[in-house]
Structure 1
Amino acid sequence: MGRRKTVEVPDEALECVMSYIRDPRDRSAASLVCRQWRRVDSRTRRHVTVRFCYAATPEQLTRRFPLLESLTIKGKPRASMYGLIPQDWGGYAGRWIRHLSSGSYLSWLKSLHLRRMVVGDADAEILTAAGGCSGHSVLESIVLEKCSGFSTDALYYIAARCRNLKVLSVTESLVDERSGEWIHQLALSNTTLETLDLYMTDLEMVGVRDLEMIAANCPRLSTLVVANTDLLQLGGVLASATKLKKWGGGQCFGSQEPLAAYERFHLNFSGGLTSIVGLNFMTSMELSAVLPVAARLKGLDLQYTLLDSQSLCRLISLCVNLEELEVRNVIGDEGLVVIGTTCKRLRKLRVERGADGQGLDDEKGWISLNGLSVVAEGCPLIEYMATYVSDVCNSALETISRCCRNLTDFRLCLLDKEENPTELPLDRGVRALLVGCPRLRRFAMYLRPGGITDAGLAYIGQFGLSLNWLLLGFAGETDKGLRDLCSGCPRLEKLEMRGCWFSEAALAREVPKLKSLRYLWVQAYDATPCGHHLSAMSRPFWNMEFCPGRLLSAGMGNKDFVVDGDTSLDPQVIAYGSLAGRRSDYPCSTVFPVV
């Protein structure tokens, strides 16, 4: 029998087909077919997300994808947002920016998104200095999300040199505010801006007149989120932004102004407004500013308001078209009942912890199984649910699994307000969620000792067939639980565990069984002082770093770790897949590579 003849598809036809493949996983699979398909994928890939900045080098990225138009790079581990890793751990953007600026890559790159990275003013200057034919940067979108290390000087470079900028976002970044010249420069030089997002940045030198000029000069402005600006001073800005769809950041400074001023404020909103975020320190006195537009809202962020449960219920009861809601647990079960009976189109619900977590002077909220059950039964379209609860039981999780078939992301954290929760462990509820929600991809359970036993971990391994991210807090009893977990979860890419006291030897022995794993973070486990068992986890293209934690004594003679209820002082290990080899910018005093 002769060899089967193959007909090679012309590159032009293959490029046309590739343009319809948007999912990066599908593109990666297609690139493995043959060299031609890999070459075409390399030439036609327009967007890449580097999930961890040390997973590859900038040179490797641009060699593989030389014509990128959009690039997202994620830096520090997610745990850095909670102060759980050393402050100087790494995540520096300088090397990436210098390489991108050294060649012709910035002639193609239009969008750059950096998340949890350290970005210096010099980095921003280098990034924006590489210009196109007009001498100005061709970048149209710059997003610095949860970043640090830069000042308003960096924003000035961006405003002055990126004349075609459409998106500028520094949401939740730590910005050293030196002046307000950057916003004035942006107002003078830009007419294409569509998004300006300063959410949770504490930038106070943002002039209202400059904002009014931006709103008037940028006819496509659809998202405007500012920081510490008096709400009532923003009326002219909102009146000029006729295309505004998302707005937020106006700060309420008490009830000094007459109530009528807030009652008239809604007249400034554009007819297309569908999302409001960041109404900082709003009380029930100023609530009338947004009540008239509540019925058309699809997105609402009330995390930093000072509204009590009654006021929150009053507002949410009018939001019949709401799809995304973020609120503190001050809303209580009463508020969750209102959500379940009113917000039938809800797709995302996030309930953060209240006064004890943010220092806000508000009433204590109580979220329990009753509220969760009503939301599950009343919001069947929900896809994302993250809640801090005071009490929970298996039946509530079973209700969620039965009613929320579209759930893709579920996160639950049990607070310590209730000494004796209704029911622990939650093994049966965990099993129900994994079986009843077939689309579940991201799953987090942060409970307390005894919240999930070895049997619950076995359920996760057996039924978590679609999970690609898993966070566990204070789960498991013995190393057997870890063994059963790692024997399953075939698609798990990221595993984070805290307060799960598995032995170091078990970690090194069982974790390599997770064949799809790309990232591991474990803190507060049964560690050896030097992490010497971790070397058994070694494999090609796999970097491991050990942080021993703070010791009781300055000398190394005392090997006991500080244990006072604060697990942030306990040892931790970070491991990740990498084509770049061992990094060289780790802090020598707190992070030790494992060979």
Structure 2
Amino acid sequence: MAQSFPEDVLEHVFSFLNHDRDRNAVSLVCKSWYDIERLSRRRIFIGNCYAVSPEIVIRRFPDVRAVELKGKPHFADFNLVPEGWGGYVYPWVVSMAGAYPWLEEIKLKRMVVTDENLELISKSFKNFTVLVLLSCEGFTTDGLAYIAANCRVLDYIEDVGLEALAAACKDLQELRVFPSDPYDAEGNVTLTEQGLVAVSEGCPKLQSVLYFCRQMSNAALVAIARNRPNMIRFRLCIIEPRAPDYLTLEPLDAGFGAIVENCKELLRLSMSGLLTDRVFEYIGTHAKKLEMLSIAFAGDSDLGLHHVLSGCESLRKLEIRDCPFGDKALLANATKLETMRSLWMSSCSVSFGACKLLGQKMPRLNVEVINERGPPDSGPEDCPVEKLYVYRTIAGPRVDMPGFVWTMDERVSSRFSRATEGHGD
């Protein structure tokens, strides 16, 4: 039955499938559908440039017109990924220049892009129309001159401005408010949680929020959750770490708990403020469709991480910094990591020994330890590592690792074990 339709008819039908996951599902039906889908796919998304090689992508999808590629972990935005870690776009540009002459669009995020890379892009793709560089580095105005890019979330806005937005922009779907000076000349806070509450009340189509602010309350978060249960992305950054509800001085567990309980379709969540293990219990219980979670300065113990890994069935990316999560929850939920795209942990309580065990137990994962102070085996095995990046890959360990990155595969782990023999008490 699946093969009864002519190929040109199926290709036309497949053209209406815009989501990568839908197209991936179609390709699994049968060999014929696999071939039709791969030959007709025009847009590809690579969420981790080290999860697959350019050659593998080109071999499977030979007629691509738009590429979206991500490199460094998300916490590179906060300068937590050391300079020189990787994420180079060069091998991708070289490969695509030869294979995709009709490429029209490239979107890059958290990648190293040089002026030479931009020059090669400008000369290789005759129909090229769109270049998006988000949190990229390595280029100058000379490189941009080759592309002749134009520049344009940023105007200052206060609570008054957000209230006007709520009254006038009924079709608003996405709101991004970045940090600026939140005080007026008299020292009063001019951008608070009330602006966000007003938008949640006045904009019925609002689905995505990225909001930087100085203060937040549980009452405001509960109001936002009740006003906008259709929210799919909610990212809140309270600039002061571990800031409590400024009205009650309580943790913000109840407020974020209301977000995950009411917003049933939530896909992405970033949390900040004073948070305990209780909020992670809420997340594990209610956030069944959550795909990406970013956490900083939160939690009390390993129990918080366990709630997330054991309860969030759809989780694909987890980013953690400065949290008291360690070996027990990580190793107990190791098989969960094979269903995810990546896990990033920095300034947590994960030991070098646990990283070795994880690498031995999960050979299909790249378990990367990042230690700028020296080799991770130079101290006791229970010594915490600086940073840990775990990701699923079919390309094996990458070949461009700088000296401060170690991959915990079975071979490397065995070498470390031999090197530390006899260095006991």
Deviations 1:35-57 (A, max 9, x none): 11110011100010111111110
Q: Aligned-pair distance for 1:544? A: 1.5
Q: Aligned-pair distance for 1:138? A: 3.4
Partner of 1:349: 175
Q: Distance in 2 between matches of 1:580 and 1:501?
A: 32
TM-score after normalising by structure 2: 0.84
In 2 relative to 1, CA 302–36 (structure 1 residues): closer, same or farther, beyond 3 Å?
Answer: same
Q: Aligned-pair distance for 1:89? A: 0.7
Q: Distance in 2 between matches of 1:155 and 1:382?
A: 34
Contact 1:501/1:525, CA 8 A, preserved across alignment: yes
Q: Distance in 2 between matches of 1:497 and 1:49?
A: 24
- Give the gaps of 5 or more residues in structure 1: 132-136, 159-167, 170-196, 199-224, 226-276, 278-300, 304-326, 563-569
* Structure-to-structure mapping, 1:101-500, within 5 angstroms: 101=97, 103=98, 105-130=99-124, 137-158=126-147, 169=149, 197-198=150-151, 225=152, 301-303=154-156, 327=157, 331=158, 333=159, 335-341=161-167, 343-355=169-181, 365=189, 367-416=191-240, 421-423=246-248, 424-447=250-273, 451-500=274-323
- Give the gaps of 5 or more residues in structure 2: 410-425
Higher relative contact order (CA 8 A, sep 6+): 2
Partner of 2:394: 579
In 2 relative to 1, CA 48–389 (structure 1 residues): closer, same or farther, beyond 3 Å?
Answer: same
Contact 1:488/1:514, CA 8 A, preserved across alignment: no
1:533 corresponds to which of 330, 344, 354: 354
TM-score after normalising by structure 1: 0.62
SS at match of 1:443: strand
SS at match of 1:508: helix
Deviations 1:303-337 (A, max 9, x none): 4xxxxxxxxxxxxxxxxxxxxxxx4xxx2x55555
Query: In structure 2, what residue type is equivalent to 1:521?
Result: W
In 2 relative to 1, CA 369–537 (structure 1 residues): closer, same or farther, beyond 3 Å?
Answer: same
Contact 2:107/2:131, CA 8 A, preserved across alignment: yes
Q: Distance in 2 between matches of 1:457 and 1:339?
A: 33
Partner of 1:546: 369
1:83 corresponds to which of 79, 85, 99: 79
Q: Aligned-pair distance for 1:64? A: 0.5
Q: Aligned-pair distance for 1:499? A: 1.4
Query: In structure 1, what residue type is equivalent to 2:367?
Result: M
Partner of 2:60: 64
Contact 1:366/1:389, CA 8 A, preserved across alignment: no
Aligned residues: 403
Deviations 1:524-581 (A, max 9, x none): 11133xx221133332431121113548xxx96799999xxxxxxx811111111211
In 2 relative to 1, CA 478–16 (structure 1 residues): closer, same or farther, beyond 3 Å?
Answer: same
Q: Aligned-pair distance for 1:16? A: 1.9
In 2 relative to 1, CA 420–76 (structure 1 residues): closer, same or farther, beyond 3 Å?
Answer: closer
Structure 1 vs Structure 2: percent identity of aligned residues?
A: 33
In 2 relative to 1, CA 513–155 (structure 1 residues): closer, same or farther, beyond 3 Å?
Answer: closer
Which structure's CA Rg is the greater one? 1
Q: Distance in 2 between matches of 1:370 and 1:155?
A: 39
Contact 1:490/1:516, CA 8 A, preserved across alignment: no
Query: In structure 2, what residue type is equivalent to 1:141?
Result: V
Deviations 1:393-446 (A, max 9, x none): 322211111111221111122333978733422222222211211222111112
* Structure-to-structure mapping, 1:510-521, within 5 angstroms: 510-513=333-336, 516-521=339-344
Q: Distance in 2 between matches of 1:378 and 1:113?
A: 32
SS at match of 2:12: helix
Contact 1:509/1:536, CA 8 A, preserved across alignment: no
Query: In structure 2, what residue type is equivalent to 1:373?
Result: V
* Structure-to-structure mapping, 1:91-102, within 5 angstroms: 91-101=87-97
Deviations 1:347-389 (A, max 9, x none): 33333332499xx999563554544433333333322222233
SS at match of 1:397: helix
Q: Distance in 2 between matches of 1:422 and 1:415?
A: 17
